Amino acid sequence: MKDTKTTSKFNQISSVTNAIYHLIFMVVTICCLYPVLLVIGISFTEEDSLKTFGYSVIPKVVSFESYTYVLRNAATILKAYKVTIFVTIVGTMLSVAGTALYAYAISRKEFRYRKFFTFFKFFTMLFSGGLVPWYLVCTRLLRINDTIWALILPPLISAWNVIIMKTFFATTVPDSIVESARIDGASEFTTFIRIVCPISLPGLATIGLFVTLSYWNDYWTPLMLTSKPNLANIQLYLYNILKNIQMLQDTTNVISQQASGEAIKRLPQEGARMAICVLAIGPIIFAYPFFQKYFIQGLTIGAVKG
């Protein structure tokens, strides 16, 4: 970055171009920011004013009734929230540990079978058995459907993360350190935990973030593998509400029209739905700016071939 200052006279673009570029990105910024602000805005708007004035980012009549609705129905929402938090925390810890161990082993040149294990993981990026055999393995062979493990285990070790982590270890852990620890008689596990992990914290943080995000936003795995309501995470909870909206939309279906009267009653109102959305987006989005550095770093490592 320091270089850019000294070389900037060569690289400078004209003021007009610069202005046009800024203009383009203003539009992009609005496109990306506005929808999220809208969700937050709606969640703080009074329900009746929503109906008369329509949606807007700045509430015409501010109200917290959406959030009191959430509190009144805290039992179900909280349960969903608990599932999400439990799965995210346990899943992330297991995933980072498993990924790091696997990646470290295949990054070591002393490991005789590292080529085999690297290919073993890489191949899963190229070919998969498809949805049905996977579904049968989960439900018929392991019988983990309708258990909490169904949400944690299947996505645990992603090939992409293993390759990112492997590249990270291979480029940032100096051989000399590992070598000297070995000569001092440390076992590989001790070396890994005491020496490699502390110096690889940025890499671990990066995949930790990727994994946290994917567990937090996962609705597909629970949709596939669970049918018990007490295993629904916050995303699946929102999905189930969406199902009712969907029935209302489908005016061609006579049965759904009859059922829709019932559905409307059970449906949380516009504001309340958005309040649940805010809760579902919340932690991830607010944490993001602080972790952006790690995230971008991770992407950069991923861009280097493993």
Partner 1 sequence: MLELRSKKHLMDNTTKSSTKIKKKKLYSKYFRENLEYMLMVAPGFILTFIFSYIPMFGIIVAFKNIDYKKGIFGSPWVGFENFKFLFQFPDVKIIVRNTIGYNLVFIVLGIIVPVTFAIILNQIRNKLASKFYQTVMFLPYFLSWIIVSYIVYAFLAFDLGLVNRTILAPLGIQPIEWYGKPEYWPFIIVFLHMWKTTGYSSVVYLAAITGIDHELYEAAAIDGATKRQQTFYITIPSISTIIIIMLILAIGKILSADFGLFFNVPLEQGRLLPVTNVIDTFVFRALRINGDIAMSSAAGLLKSVIGFFLVMVTNKIVKRYDDSKALY
List binders of partner 1 among 14-73 (CB under 8 A): 17-18, 21-22, 24-25, 28-29, 31-33, 35-36, 38-39, 42, 50-51, 54-56
Residues 228 to 287: which contact partner 1 by CB under 8 A? 235, 238-239, 242, 245-246, 249-253, 270, 273-274, 277, 280-281, 284-285
Distance CA 157, CA 165 (A): 12
Asked whether 120 and 113 are in contact (CB, 8 A), the reply is no
Q: Give me the least distance between CB of 203 and partner 1, in Å please.
A: 15
Would you count residue 157 as binding partner 1 (CB under 8 A)? yes
Q: Which residues pair with 45 in a beta bridge?
A: 62
Closer Cβ to partner 1, 79 or 114, answer by number: 114
Question: Is 7 one of the binding residues for partner 1 (CB under 8 A)?
Answer: yes
Stretch that binds partner 1, among 60-68, 71-79, 151-159, 194-202 (CB under 8 A): 151-159
CA distance 222 to 228: 10
Which residues pair with residue 62 across a beta bridge?
45
Backbone φ and ψ of 150, nearest 5° = -60, -30
What CA–CA distance (Å, rounded) separates 282 from 39? 11
User: Considering only 60-68, 193-201, 257-265, 298-306, which stretch makes contact with partner 1 by CB under 8 A?
Assistant: 298-306
Determine contact, residues 252/260, Cβ cutoff 8 Å: no
Q: Which amino acid is at 176?
A: S
- Taking the least distance from each CB to partner 1, the nearer of 85 and 245 is 245
Whether the CB-CB separation of 118 and 111 falls below 8 Å is answered with no
Residues in the interface with partner 1 (CB under 8 A) total: 114
Q: 58, 141, 254, 255: which one contacts partner 1 (CB under 8 A)?
A: 141
Contact 146, 225 (CB under 8 A): yes
Binding test (CB under 8 A) with partner 1, winner from 68, 73, 76, 300: 300
x-or-dash string of contact with partner 1, 105-134, rule CB under 8 A: xx-xxxxxxx--x--xxx-xxxxxxxxxxx
Place of tokens 């890489």: 122
Q: Which of 197, 217, 259, 263 binds partner 1 (CB under 8 A)?
A: 217
The minimum distance between CB 304 and partner 1, in angstroms, equals 6
Minimum Å distance from CB 26 to partner 1? Answer: 9
- 296 interacts with partner 1 by CB under 8 A: yes
Stated as kind and residue range, the H or E segment containing 133 is helix 131-136
Report how far apart, in Å, the C-alpha atoms of 254 and of each of 250, 259, 260, 264 are: 9, 9, 10, 16
Applying CB under 8 A, among 40, 205, 213, 259 the residue interacting with partner 1 is 213
**CB 59 to partner 1: min, Å:** 14
CA distance 161 to 164: 5
> Does 220 contact partner 1 by CB under 8 A?
yes
User: Which residue lies nearer to partner 1 by CB, 137 or 177?
Assistant: 137
Does 182 contact partner 1 by CB under 8 A? yes
Q: Answer for the pair 169, 104: CB distance below 8 angstroms, yes or no.
A: yes
Classify 297 as helix, strand or coil: helix
Least distance in angstroms from the C-beta of 71 to partner 1: 20
Give the integer Cα–Cα distance in Å for 267 and 279. Answer: 17
Distance CA 76, CA 80 (A): 6
